[in-house]
Amino acid sequence: MIKAKRKPLEELFDLTKGFQRILCVGCGGCTSVCLAGGQRETQMLKTDLSQLFRENGKSAHISVFVIERQCSPEYISDIEDMIKDYGCVISAACGAGVQLLAERYRSKPVFPALNTMFVGLDRSTGLYQERCRTCGDCQLGYTGGICPVTCCSKSLFNGPCGGTNINGSCEVSRETPCAWNEIYERLKMQNRVENILSIHPPMDWTDKGPGTLIQSGYESRYIKK
Amino acid sequence: MKSGSNLERVLKAGHFAVTTEFGPPKGTDLSIVKNKAEFIRGNVDAVNVTDCQTAVVRLSSIATSAILVQMGIEPVMQMTCRDRNRIAIQSDIFGASALGIKNMLAISGDHHSFGNQKNARKVYDIDSMQMISLVKRMRDEQKMLSEDKPFQGEVPMFIGAAANPFAPPVEFRAMHLRKKIEAGADFIQTQSIYDVDKFRQWMKIVCDMGLDRQCAILAGLTPLKSAGMARYMADNVPGMQIPESLLTRMAGVPKERAAEEGIRIFCEQVEQIREIPGIAGLHIMAIEWEHRIPEITERAGLLPRPVMQGNDFFSGDPQCR
């Protein structure tokens, strides 16, 4: 899932200090799961921001509402009636959720409460690790289930660079394992080293502006003939 | 001849080749380039020009290489995948060829988090393996990536690649070397070797795979300047391994005699390495020690360098092929 963390409070204050009525909108999706933008965190954001407003000799009325999923049009209508009473919105969704709110409520300034970090996994409560760069051409099949795009600091496709440390860590950090060392070890264990013996050609990064995905079976609905 | 470079000619004639390394300055003071270059002239067969090594911004590898060409000193232009996408890489290779550069070394490059632009966005559009294939295609088929129509003109480039025999996954390193040769590497320069026994064992594997007959393997050596430098390299340089016995030996001599001891160790290593089957030459990485290259090469018995017949390189004319 998508992982995010709250922006520095001072940055949020700077964005919103000109407003008297602020609506903090949490998200029940990914950012809630990673403890950044759910009910509890949005409430905490309200408390912290109100405090900072007071410390700066200002007052603002801040309310909290949590939308089930901010990246979905059917859910974001939930705030249609209440948003009229507010000067601006702080959204604790990922970057996609913030943009859908901003698109739906065009006349309202919508500010991001979070920095969207990565697609990652839950290692433990509050501890997440990046595992996917959403490259659009999944490589995991030949790399033993370890992503070379994400987990190799140089996103190499054909084996390790020369910088692997003797303990098998990456040249960038001794705390980070060398992805290609791990790929080799795992493939060897599975008797699949031949997977990485032939040259893997350059990627098709499909880096052509904002992507659109039409799920198979839905083409006729969205593609005009 | 693939490129007609001096390095290629030296290797083809069966000479034990010698290359070294040249770090461009931070800035545009060309007197630094010219002064350093004079220490190298005549003492090696070609000189690697680093491409913003340790990810610190410096005078570009391509410009510095072109200046060396003008001076009649043969460069091996290093090119990293760190800062260029495939458009820039191919364009720069055209540019290098047009400027008379005939050797290049395709490498992934030190990660930008080491350098002076830590907030940069990394590129790594293609990796060094893919860069080798791409240059080979440009040279042998006169075609770019994803294009079937040949381009105008030639890219006579002698293609180099790096290899680290010692870093994990150690078992995979010889297979990785084979992959680079299949991709199109004509010569290999290895990471600095300090454990010659370990290197000998690796070369045995490489020779058993027949790789030494498919490309020229140049063994990398870095003379130690001081005990502090040795310790620093052992602890901080990515992929570098220095045996404790050498660190102790360097630490055992007084500071003022450390450089001398380092050169002695170097000369011993050169002798040992020349005996290893499958080694075609030496790559001397004398970091910020270009001025000692005349002495180092002399004392290691690497001089005089062969002067190749039919070598058009020293005419100084970039159009010369």
Q: DSSP states of B72-141 as a string?
A: T--EEEEEESSS--HHHHHHHHHHHHHTT--EEEEE----GGGSS-TTPPP--SS-HHHHHHHHHHHHHH
* Chain segment B167-177, per-residue pLDDT in tens: 999 999 999 99
* Chain segment A23-42, per-residue pLDDT in tens: 999 999 999 999 999 999 99
Both A158 and A110 in a single domain? Answer: no
Whole-angstrom CA distances from B286 to A162, B72, B291 are 19, 21, 9
Both A70 and A177 in a single domain? Answer: no
Both A37 and A93 in a single domain? Answer: yes
CA distance B317 to B321: 9
- Name the residue in chain A with its Cα closest to that of B86: A202
Both A86 and A19 in a single domain? Answer: yes
The predicted structure's pLDDT at residue B320: 38
The predicted structure's pLDDT at residue A224: 84
CB-closest option in A155, A163, A188 to B124: A155
Domain assignment present for residue A124? The answer is no
Domain assignment present for residue A215? The answer is no
Domain assignment present for residue A21? The answer is yes
Chain A residue numbers touching B166 (CB-CB < 8 A): 166
Domain assignment present for residue A138? The answer is yes
Cβ–Cβ contact B148 with A under 8 A: no
> Looking at the predicted structure, is the pLDDT value of residue B309 above 80?
no
Which one-letter amino acid corresponds to residue A113? A
To probe the interface with B, which of A137, A164, A170, A172 has the most B CB atoms within 10 Å? A164
Both A6 and A110 in a single domain? Answer: yes
All residues at 6 or more sequence positions from A86 whose CB lies less than 8 Å from its CB, including other chains: A19, A21, A22, A23, A63, A108
Both A109 and A164 in a single domain? Answer: no
Name the pairing type of β-strands B158-163 and B187-192: parallel
Q: Which of A148-162, B126-140, B217-231, B237-251 has the lowest mean pLDDT?
A: B237-251
Both A45 and A148 in a single domain? Answer: no
* Chain segment B1-48, per-residue pLDDT in tens: 999 999 999 999 999 999 999 999 999 999 999 999 999 999 999 999
Q: Which residues pair with A4 in a beta bridge?
A: A116
Q: Tell me, what's the ipTM?
A: 0.94
Q: Which CATH number fits domain B6-315: 3.20.20.220, 3.30.1490.100, 3.40.50.720, 3.30.1340.10?
A: 3.20.20.220
Question: A-B interface: how many C-beta pairs under 8 angstroms?
Answer: 114
Domain assignment present for residue A87? The answer is yes
| Residue A12: other Cβ atoms inside 10 A | 22
> How close B124 gets to chain A, by Cα (Å)?
6
| Residue A110: other Cβ atoms inside 10 A | 22
Cα-based angle A142, A145, A147 (whole degrees, multiple of 5): 85
Domain end call among A95, A118, A141: A118
CB-closest option in B109, B129, B145 to A158: B129
The predicted structure's pLDDT at residue B238: 79
Name the pairing type of β-strands A114-124 and B187-192: unpaired
Cβ–Cβ contact B232 with A under 8 A: no
* Chain segment B58-98, per-residue pLDDT in tens: 999 999 999 999 999 999 999 999 999 999 999 999 999 99
> Looking at the predicted structure, is the pLDDT value of residue B314 above 50?
no
Cβ–Cβ contact A185 with B under 8 A: yes
| Residue B140: other Cβ atoms inside 10 A | 11
CB-closest option in A184, A197, A203 to B169: A184
> Looking at the predicted structure, is the pLDDT value of residue B227 above 90?
yes
The predicted structure's pLDDT at residue A199: 97
Domain assignment present for residue A208? The answer is no
Chain B residue numbers touching A160 (CB-CB < 8 A): 167-169, 172, 176
Number of domains in chain A: 2
- What confidence category does residue A207 fall into, taking pLDDT thresholds of 50, 70 and 90? confident
Cβ–Cβ contact B181 with A under 8 A: no
CA distance B61 to B80: 10
Long-range contact pairs involving A143-148 (C-beta distance under 8 Å, separation at least 24): A143/A183, A143/A187, A143/A195, A143/A196, A144/A182, A144/A183, A144/A186, A144/A187, A144/A190, A144/A192, A144/A195, A145/A186, A146/A179, A146/A182, A146/A183, A146/A186, A147/A179, A148/A179, A148/A180, A148/A183
Chain B residue numbers touching A185 (CB-CB < 8 A): 169
Domain boundaries of chain B, sorted by first residue: 6-315
Both A48 and A152 in a single domain? Answer: no
Cβ–Cβ contact B55 with A under 8 A: no
> How close B22 gets to chain A, by Cα (Å)?
20
* Chain segment A85-144, per-residue pLDDT in tens: 999 999 999 999 999 999 999 999 999 999 999 999 999 999 999 999 999 999 999 999
Q: Which residues pair with A203 in a beta bridge?
A: none
Chain B residue numbers touching A193 (CB-CB < 8 A): 172, 175
Chain B residue numbers touching A198 (CB-CB < 8 A): 179
- What confidence category does residue A206 fall into, taking pLDDT thresholds of 50, 70 and 90? confident
| Residue B295: other Cβ atoms inside 10 A | 13
CB contact under 8 A, B239 and A159: no
- What confidence category does residue A208 fall into, taking pLDDT thresholds of 50, 70 and 90? confident
Domain assignment present for residue A223? The answer is no
> Looking at the predicted structure, is the pLDDT value of residue B313 above 60?
no
The predicted structure's pLDDT at residue B310: 64
- What confidence category does residue B319 fall into, taking pLDDT thresholds of 50, 70 and 90? very low
CB contact under 8 A, A161 and B108: yes
Chain B residue numbers touching A154 (CB-CB < 8 A): 81-82, 108-109, 111, 122, 124, 127
- Name the residue in chain A with its Cα closest to that of B169: A181
Q: Where is A74: in which H helix or E strand?
A: helix A73-76
Domain with A137, as residue range(s), is 133-196
Helices B86-98 and B128-141: angle between axes, nearest 10 degrees:
50
The predicted structure's pLDDT at residue A225: 73
Domain assignment present for residue A90? The answer is yes
Both A107 and A171 in a single domain? Answer: no
